[in-house]
Chain A
Amino acid sequence: MNILVQIMHLLRKEITLEWRQKYALSGILLYVLSTVFIVYISFQNIGPQVWNVLFWVIMLFASVNAVMKSFVQESGYRQLYYFQLLHPIAILLSKMIYNSLLLLLLGGLTFVALAFIAGNPVQDAGIFALTLFLGSTGFSITFTFVSAIAAKADNSSTLMAILSFPVVIPILLLLVNLSAHSIGILGSTDIGDKTMLLGAVDLILVSMGLVLFPFLWRD
């Protein structure tokens, strides 16, 4: 069975599982909604600049929570079972793809909720969508890999945050900057350049993850 088929099977499994235990998914969705609402109550008047930063901060925390369970919450027996059956790259890639889909959904929901409550400052929807896509991919790559690391330790939920936040900073900086372009706070001079840079960072991290994951996996 080659890796591509394995990835497809694992993806289908992830989605089915998620669909069966809807409480996990709806928990994350409720998390986003309540965060947006709390932010709105505390700020009331949200300017474009604050909107931009808030959007990504909410996304950041929601993403950590959503992705954390991908390795941490999987039981040891099931992991052992996968290990004997499947290629480690297929396992990591399928989780990364699944998580980026989940985060894309989460980002869309955060956007709708924030736009509904605090207004929609986005002027260039294309750039914003591109940023959201690259952002959820980057978040998913980083957090999935870090959750694989944290799952090896005992106190994994604390570790997850302290391990992943410094690693995700380069991506976050570029995301805030790019979406500031789409909101029109910054002049659109070198969007292509920054998009390329963000894509390159995503690519570096995903290849590092693929190279390193087999070492993490073997025990």
Chain B
Amino acid sequence: MKYWWKILGVLILLYTFFMGLLTPLKTGISEASPLSLHAGRSETVTVVGYNSFFTKEKEKLRAWLKLPNGKALAAKRIDVVDDRVAKLTFDIPSFLPVDTKVKDFTLLIDSPVDGASVLPGGIAVTQDTVNLALGDALWPNAEISQLHEKEAITFPFRNILGETIRNTYYHVPLWMSMFIILTGGMVFSVIYLMKNDADADRKAMALSNVGLLLGILGIITGAIWARYTWGKFWSWDVKQNMTAIALLIYGAYFVLRASFEDPEKKARVGAVFNIFAYASLVPLLYIIPKLTDSLHPGAGGNIAFGSQDLDSTMRMVFYPAIIGWALIGLWVAEIILRTARLKDRLMEV
């Protein structure tokens, strides 16, 4: 079968769209109010769950306010309003086992149906006076045990991202397949310079053209995603900056090619610039993250979203998506290549 890789690309992309859109998210806590509590009182927190089924087995619902070191306070009462909303009542002791006046607590809810869900560091508790010894004595140190796991294939729930975590399969692979395709273009430029074969230059041109398309799509989708998670169209993000620079470079590549009449000269100078520009693009992969660390220490609210914090379910969709987009890009490049061949043959006649 001559077209197997095209069919493979389509099937892989179908799989990523199917899996990526239909798999539900884990249960999470999307809202809690009030977000700041006071020590020494009995406080009620209204929690809005995401994808939650609080009414099923509501007697077995449990909730805690938890410190990073594991010390926790169990909720005294849990009133389930409906599947999404529950009211948690905490009897907070007058003194907290911490040495600051205000401390952020993590809210943890466990249900046999939904599994455990957290609101990390989301609830601030204020105490009037700091007294570590009294706080340690008064704090109940409730035991957190036998947490449940949701028994289904799910994607992780992250508060800022919500459902947009799915964009990992539709936006990020564009960037990676762009890099794969542009690397291919660079390789064909090298082959052109070594063998002086006009078809190799056409291949480099076609691949760079598709790389440009993927880059533009990547930039636009990235801007949309960033707008609703980080609040701005553009944030100092490695992939966004790299893509923008790649777009500038390959835009310049096509302008350079357009400025030559002689096809041999066009191909040769274009190939030289392609290789030189690519060599300057790659170091940015190391440079930008390095500068990001020093310019924005612990950039607040921005989730470090590299491949290291993908869980295994996400990897099952994410890696195929890269291959799928690269194959589709290759397909488009092949069509451009054939068009260019046709055109060059026509020019010779």
Direct contact of A and B (CB under 8 A): yes
B259 engages A159 (CB within 8 Å): yes
Q: Which of A57-65, A96-104, A121-129, A162-170 contacts B (4 or more CB under 8 A)?
A: A162-170
B272 engages A215 (CB within 8 Å): yes
In the complex, whether A9 has a CB less than 8 A from a CB of chain B is no
In the complex, whether B233 has a CB less than 8 A from a CB of chain A is no
Q: Closest residue to A163 on the B side, CB-wise?
A: B252
Bound-state CA distance A142–B265 (Å) is 21
Can you list 5 pairs linking A and B with CB atoms under 8 Å apart?
A173-B284, A173-B287, A186-B295, A208-B276, A215-B272
In the complex, whether A205 has a CB less than 8 A from a CB of chain B is yes
Bound-state CA distance A170–B287 (Å) is 7
Residues of B within 8 A of A201 (CB): 280, 283, 287
> Beyond A159-B252, A166-B280, A215-B271: 12 further Cβ-contacts under 8 Å?
A149-B276, A163-B252, A163-B273, A169-B284, A174-B291, A177-B294, A187-B294, A189-B294, A205-B279, A215-B193, A216-B268, A216-B269
Residues of A within 8 A of B288 (CB): 173
B269 engages A166 (CB within 8 Å): no
Residues of B within 8 A of A209 (CB): 276
Residues of B within 8 A of A193 (CB): 290
What is the interface of chain A mostly: helix, strand, loop, or mixed? helix
With both chains docked as a complex, state the minimum distance between the C-beta of A148 and any C-beta of chain B, in angstroms.
Answer: 9
In the complex, whether A204 has a CB less than 8 A from a CB of chain B is yes
Residues of B within 8 A of A15 (CB): none
A153 and B256 contact, Cβ closer than 8 Å, known pairs A166-B248, A177-B291, A197-B286 = yes
In the complex, whether A200 has a CB less than 8 A from a CB of chain B is yes
With both chains docked as a complex, state the minimum distance between the C-beta of B246 and any C-beta of chain A, in angstroms.
Answer: 8
Residues of B within 8 A of A187 (CB): 294
A170 engages B283 (CB within 8 Å): yes
A152 engages B269 (CB within 8 Å): yes
A142 engages B256 (CB within 8 Å): no
Bound-state CA distance A154–B260 (Å) is 8
In the complex, whether A12 has a CB less than 8 A from a CB of chain B is no
A155 and B259 contact, Cβ closer than 8 Å, known pairs A166-B277, A205-B279 = yes
Residues of B within 8 A of A24 (CB): none
In the complex, whether B275 has a CB less than 8 A from a CB of chain A is yes
Bound-state CA distance A177–B291 (Å) is 7
Residues of A within 8 A of B290 (CB): 190, 193-194, 197
Residues of B within 8 A of A149 (CB): 256, 269, 272-273, 276
Name the interface size band of chain A: 35 or more
In the complex, whether A212 has a CB less than 8 A from a CB of chain B is yes
With both chains docked as a complex, state the minimum distance between the C-beta of B295 and any C-beta of chain A, in angstroms.
Answer: 8
Residues of A within 8 A of B295 (CB): 177, 186
Residues of B within 8 A of A194 (CB): 290
Considering only CB atoms and an 8 Å cut-off, how many residues of chain B contact the other chain?
31
A215 engages B268 (CB within 8 Å): yes
Residues of A within 8 A of B259 (CB): 153-155, 159
With both chains docked as a complex, state the minimum distance between the C-beta of B280 and any C-beta of chain A, in angstroms.
Answer: 5
Residues of B within 8 A of A153 (CB): 256, 259-260, 269
Residues of A within 8 A of B273 (CB): 146, 149, 163
B276 engages A205 (CB within 8 Å): yes
A152 engages B287 (CB within 8 Å): no
A170 and B276 contact, Cβ closer than 8 Å, known pairs A153-B256, A154-B259, A216-B269 = no
- Our pick among B249, B271, B291 for the contact of A173 (Cβ within 8 Å) is B291
A167 engages B277 (CB within 8 Å): yes
- Our pick among A162, A167, A177, A190 for the contact of B280 (Cβ within 8 Å) is A167
Residues of B within 8 A of A208 (CB): 275-276, 279
Bound-state CA distance A153–B257 (Å) is 9
With both chains docked as a complex, state the minimum distance between the C-beta of A191 and any C-beta of chain B, in angstroms.
Answer: 10
Q: Closest residue to B268 on the A side, CB-wise?
A: A215
Q: Closest residue to A213 on the B side, CB-wise?
A: B272
Bound-state CA distance A187–B287 (Å) is 17
In the complex, whether A219 has a CB less than 8 A from a CB of chain B is yes
* Chain B 244-259 interface mask (CB, 8 Å, partner A; 1/0): 0100110110011001
